[in-house]
Amino acid sequence: MLTLFKNAEIYAPRYLGKTDLLTGGKSILCIAARIEPPEGLDVEIIDCSGLMLVPGLIDSHVHITGGGGEGGPASRMPELHIDRMIEAGVTTVIGCLGTDGITRTVESVLMKVKSLRAQGVSAWMYTGAYQVPPPTITGDVAKDIALFEEIIGVGEVAISDHRSSCPDMKELARIAAHARVAGMIGGKAGIVNMHMGDAINPFVPIHEVVACTELGYKQFLPTHCNRNSYIFEDSKEYGKKGYVDITTSSYPYYADEEIKPSIALKELLAAGVPLNHITFTSDGCGSLPGFDPETGKLVKIEMGLPSSILRELKEAVLEDGIPLEQALQVATSTPAEILRLAGKGNLREGYDADILVLDTTFNIVHLMAMGKFL
């Protein structure tokens, strides 16, 4: 069946004006000011007058098999259910392991990726976890990336955090170098997703790798860059050279510590960080723990939700004055470009028909993934 969206305000994410869009199979077939239904074919027509049509969102940091565990077995978070993606307007996820790369496995993440794909959405993953050496399927991060189509990089590798393996510069450089070469061989991003902890000067390990090797800042994608005021201030300079990922789920659970994501985007842009260096991710199904600074004991825990991305995009536009075509990029075209997700993140002819239709208050009206309505 063909689907024709009529009279939509289309953001691709670049604003295209009031435009029609035709899909067929899994793809976008045509975008034009006026498209007439092809004669003799079965066409579903959706009138989108007064609605915004944007790319399906990309959430590139999700604990799809569940995260957590810092407070013992009862603190393990559940795996991602596709309903969480649908309610969030998310059509693509990147799965990862986090703190628990000990009892949770890379193999289970791979099978969850396959499960999500079988349900009609798009999914990829990172090999590894917080730990160094990283847990893998083949015993080598490079082989995992080169051999498995679903694996695009390594992560989330923890640094500057009391839960990390405290890797030295040589260990981080070796992981990043292997990921880079494997990415070249496998046609992948080969990037290293970095969990940034609460230590002072948290970017120092990455600076050391770049200073002592031929690797560049864009080999790394550090996340949780809004977790406290000092890492966020460092991000304003770091982001001019490399990528910074803002975690949307932690706010408002940790409003006294976290920089609100919509405000973080506004301040990063004001500081001169290029828009195509900034991404939003939810840390969905991951734990959001709080630790006593004196004893190190877990004192509270929450769970990340993919829906937090759309919430913060809405507030960035409606409350913080960021144009929609700019705000959208942090969860559409930018992660697609950084992670080399072909056919994703943009509304273009020949691209995958991942389409989110919103009303003017950002309520979801329609959601299509790979040409099928969710």
Contact residues for 217 (Cβ-Cβ < 8 A; gap 6+) = 206, 210, 238, 241, 242, 243
- Write the CA distances from 38 to 20, 30, 31, 48, 210, integer angstroms: 13, 12, 14, 19, 55
Q: Other CB atoms closer than 10 Å to residue 275's CB: what's the count?
A: 15
Q: At 352, list the tokens.
A: 């995958």
d(CA 296, CA 133): 24
Active-site annotation holds for 283: yes
- Provide CB contacts within 8 A for 218, sequence distance 6+: 191, 242, 243, 338
Written as one letter, the residue type at 215 is: L
**Residue 256 backbone phi and psi in degrees, to 5:** -80, -15
Q: Six-digit token pair at 234?
A: 């460092």
Q: Judge residue 244's burial from the number of C-beta atoms within 10 Å of its C-beta, 0-12 exposed, 13-18 middle, 19 or more buried.
A: buried
Q: Which one of 144, 245, 283, 354 is the catalytic residue?
A: 283
Which residue stretches of the chain are H helix? 82-86, 106-118, 141-147, 169-186, 204-212, 229-238, 261-270, 307-318, 324-327, 333-338
3-class secondary structure, 174? helix
Residues with active-site annotation: 283
